[in-house]
């Protein structure tokens, strides 16, 4: 089992400030893919910039299906961490992706929808597109378990005191 006596104050800070930097710092694979968190008039917008190292088929070229999935899953987790009413640590229960079009070597955009936020469970939908938001390259959905920070960190009791 993972060590649960870890300091998670970065999560509360990131959420309170609405700043994804600390969340991204904790997520090296998302940084390795080049994931960026932006805002537009409709809300939080995730971007996967075109990078050769994210390709699967180099001849087409097409983004690796697993990279597309990892980008969308990262977006969902980051969006959830920043949106939750009270800060909690997410753990993925399941993830399902539909591949609708090949991902070209161009930026991919993704937007997340928190379909349900319960006490212990969340459901998130993610839509990813390239040229046109109305023509997604992939859609995904996931169930996520939410653990209260108090139950996870031996230091949180001291902090909340």
Partner 1 sequence: MSNEVDWHYALTRYVRGMPHTYEAGMNVVSAGPSGVEMRLPWKADFLGDVSRQLIHGGVITMVLDTACTGTVLCGLGDPPEICPTLDLRVDHFRPAVAGQALLVRARITEITASVVFVEGELWQENDQKRVARATGSFARLPAEATPANFGRLLCGRPGAGTQGVKHA
Burial track 25-40 (b if 16+ CB lie within 10 A, e otherwise): eebeebeebbbebeee
Nearer to partner 1, 51 or 131 (CB): 51
Q: How far is the CB of 5 from partner 1 (least distance, A)?
A: 10
- CA proximity to 113, closest of 54, 44, 13, 32: 44
Dihedral pair phi/psi, residue 78, rounded to 5°: -65, -45
Nearer to partner 1, 42 or 159 (CB): 159
Q: How far is the CB of 37 from partner 1 (least distance, A)?
A: 15
Nearer to partner 1, 41 or 112 (CB): 112
Nearer to partner 1, 69 or 122 (CB): 69
Residues that bind partner 1 (CB under 8 A): 2-4, 6-8, 10, 25-30, 32-33, 52-59, 64-67, 69-71, 73-74, 77, 89, 91-99, 102
Q: How far is the CB of 41 from partner 1 (least distance, A)?
A: 28
Which residues have C-beta within 8 Å of that of residue 98, sequence separation ≥ 6?
Answer: 138, 139, 140
Residue 60 CA to its chain's centroid (Å): 27
């Amino acid at each position: 089992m993972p060590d649960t006596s870890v300091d998670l104050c970065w999560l509360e800070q990131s959420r309170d400030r609405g700043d994804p930097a600390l969340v991204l710092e904790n997520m090296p694979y998302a940084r390795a893919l080049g994931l960026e968190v932006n805002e537009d008039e409709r809300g939080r917008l995730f971007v996967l910039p075109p990078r050769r190292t994210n390709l699967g088929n180099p001849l087409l070229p097409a983004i690796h299906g697993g990279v597309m999935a990892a980008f969308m899953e990262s977006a969902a987790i980051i969006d959830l961490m920043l949106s939750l009413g009270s800060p909690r640590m997410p753990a993925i229960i399941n993830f399902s992706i539909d591949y609708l079009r090949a991902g070209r070597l161009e930026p991919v955009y993704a937007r997340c929808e928190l379909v349900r936020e319960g006490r212990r469970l969340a459901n998130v939908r993610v839509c990813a597109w390239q040229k046109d938001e109305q023509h997604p390259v992939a859609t995904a959905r996931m169930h996520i378990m939410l653990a209260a920070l108090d139950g996870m960190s031996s230091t949180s009791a001291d902090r909340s005191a």
